[in-house]
Amino acid sequence: MSTVMNESPATEMKDRSAYSPGLEGVIAGESALCLVDEGEAGLLYRGYPIRELAEHSAFEEVAYLLLFAHLPNRQELANFSAQLIDRAVLPRLLEVFLGAVPSDAHPMDIVRSGVSLLGVVDSDTADNSHEANVYRSIGLLAQIPLMIAASYRLVTGKPRRRPHDDLTFAENLLYLLTDRREDDQAKAMARVLDVSLTLYAEHEFNASTFAARVTASTMTDLYSAITSAIGALKGPLHGGANEAVAEMFLDIGSRERAETWVREALVKKHRIMGFGHRVLKKGDARSIIIQRHAESLSRICGDHRWYEIATTVNRVMEQEKGLHPNLDFYTAVAYLLMGIPRELYTPLFVCSRITGWCAHVIEQQDHNRLMRPRALYTGPSRRDYVPLDHRS
Ligand SMILES: CC(C)(COP(=O)(O)OP(=O)(O)OC[C@H]1O[C@@H](n2cnc3c(N)ncnc32)[C@H](O)[C@@H]1OP(=O)(O)O)[C@@H](O)C(=O)NCCC(=O)NCCS
């Protein structure tokens, strides 16, 4: 049966005032997940201040909060954590794929394609029910770290690791990537990693979450929406910034070079990664939290180089451009101290933001309205068609 779509002709948009380049300031939907506020309220996940969640809750509590709309009690948390361990297994198709990936492939491309393949092996993707999507979300949260670690270990020829049920999500993640878990320094690193995962988990209608929601609004499957989100996150103006910040620190090399380096970059009109935000013009509350942890980790590791470079760059950027660091800036300091390879920084963001994305996809599909905005037409006005043989 053929369907005739009843689209209106491409007329010029009548109300130009409705147009906002980059959708800046546009409210594109409703969400109960997160309040981004530059004022008194600060950043809230389902009503809870981010500062308290980062300081007092483990990341898996935050993941649970986003997916189930309440903070877990001890029993709920134990069950959730056990599920994350049980479901940390990759299907055979993923293993074959990881074995065939070129050694120079970017981990973000691997995780994007890996999530897409998880959709291939899920035999019931047509079921978009709330319960089915929560179940899939927990699977993705368990499998994505494994996928990232497995591909990294294959390329570097290191033996595979399995998550342990006596470790937290962050401790396991650090262990899967670096083999570290026992010593005091590793415990301190896992704590900072945990804080960074909580801070990365959710941020309203950012580009990748919006991409996920647009895709979900067609009532396609969760994996398709998450694949869209990962593709959007990869860009350096979004999640790719944390990797770019580390690259900048490595290029600067020492605190003594930092000021000249930034000033020269600004003269050349370069963007300094890890600064600025489309919404948070007065500063990012998350950056203040991760900066404090990056500083204390520098002390614990006895390595102040990255933190000193960072604070110098920060000072010059505030003086010269009035721009504040965003979450990616001091997170890069923390991840450098952990010895995590920098091409894994944006994939680490995925390990966390998968919770926010999934919660948004579920929220979108629970109250769906297809996203279909309009464009302001800027092409030529109507012209006469010229048959192929008459064209000069
Ligand atoms: C995040 C970002 C895209 C938001 O940008 P935006 O709201 O669209 O702001 P604009 O791109 O319009 O920039 C406004 C002005 O600030 C400048 N600016 C913004 N971020 C800058 C940065 N990181 N370095 C240098 N200048 C910057 C722009 O050049 C522009 O200056 P101009 O008016 O003299 O041309 C932008 O700040 C950026 O590119 N940051 C670096 C990437 C990054 O850290 N991304 C992670 C975001 S959480």
The yes-or-no verdict on residue 7 having pLDDT over 80 is no
What ligand 1 atom has the least distance to the C-alpha of 271?
24
CA 107 to centroid of ligand 1, rounded, Å: 26
User: Ligand 1, atom 33: nearest CA belongs to which residue?
Assistant: 321
- What percent of the chain is modeled with pLDDT above 70? 96
Q: Which residues are catalytic?
A: 277, 328
Residue 13: which pLDDT band, with cuts at 50, 70 and 90? low
C-alpha 334 chain-centroid distance? 17
The yes-or-no verdict on residue 136 having pLDDT over 90 is yes
**Contact by Cβ (8 Å): 311, 298:** no
Residue 42: which pLDDT band, with cuts at 50, 70 and 90? confident
* Average pLDDT of the residues of the chain: 94
CA 276 to centroid of ligand 1, rounded, Å: 5
Give the pLDDT confidence score for residue 334 in this predicted structure. Answer: 98
Write down the pTM of the prediction: 0.94
What is the distance between the alpha carbons of residues 223 and 308, in angstroms, rounded to a whole number?
41
Read out DSSP for 103-154?
TT--HHHHHHHHHHHHHHH-TTTT---HHHHHHHHHHHHHHHHHHHHHHHHH
The per-residue pLDDT for range 246-257, each reduced to its tens digit, is 999 999 999 999
Pocket of ligand 1 (CB under 6 A): 237-238, 241, 271-278, 321, 323, 326, 328
Joined tokens for residue 302: 């006895």
Give the pLDDT confidence score for residue 16 in this predicted structure. Answer: 78
User: Ligand 1, atom 11: nearest CA belongs to which residue?
Assistant: 278
357 phi and psi angles, rounded to 5 deg: -60, -50
The yes-or-no verdict on residue 369 having pLDDT over 90 is yes
CA 305 to centroid of ligand 1, rounded, Å: 26
Give the pLDDT confidence score for residue 39 in this predicted structure. Answer: 78
CA 66 to centroid of ligand 1, rounded, Å: 29
Give the pLDDT confidence score for residue 18 in this predicted structure. Answer: 85
Give the pLDDT confidence score for residue 10 in this predicted structure. Answer: 44
Task: Provide the pairing of β-strand 48-49 with 43-45.
Answer: antiparallel
Based on the number of CB atoms within 10 Å of its own CB, is 308 exposed (0-12), middle (13-18) or buried (19 or more)?
Answer: middle
116 phi and psi angles, rounded to 5 deg: -60, -40
Mutate to test the pocket of ligand 1, among 209, 248, 264, 271 (most ligand atoms within 8 A of CB): 271
Residue 12: which pLDDT band, with cuts at 50, 70 and 90? low
Helical (H) or strand (E) element with 196 = helix 184-200
Give the pLDDT confidence score for residue 38 in this predicted structure. Answer: 82
Instruction: Find where tokens 């900066």 sit.
Output: 291
Domains of the chain: 34-235+343-366 (1.10.580.10), 241-337 (1.10.230.10)
Give the pLDDT confidence score for residue 333 in this predicted structure. Answer: 98
The yes-or-no verdict on residue 104 having pLDDT over 90 is yes
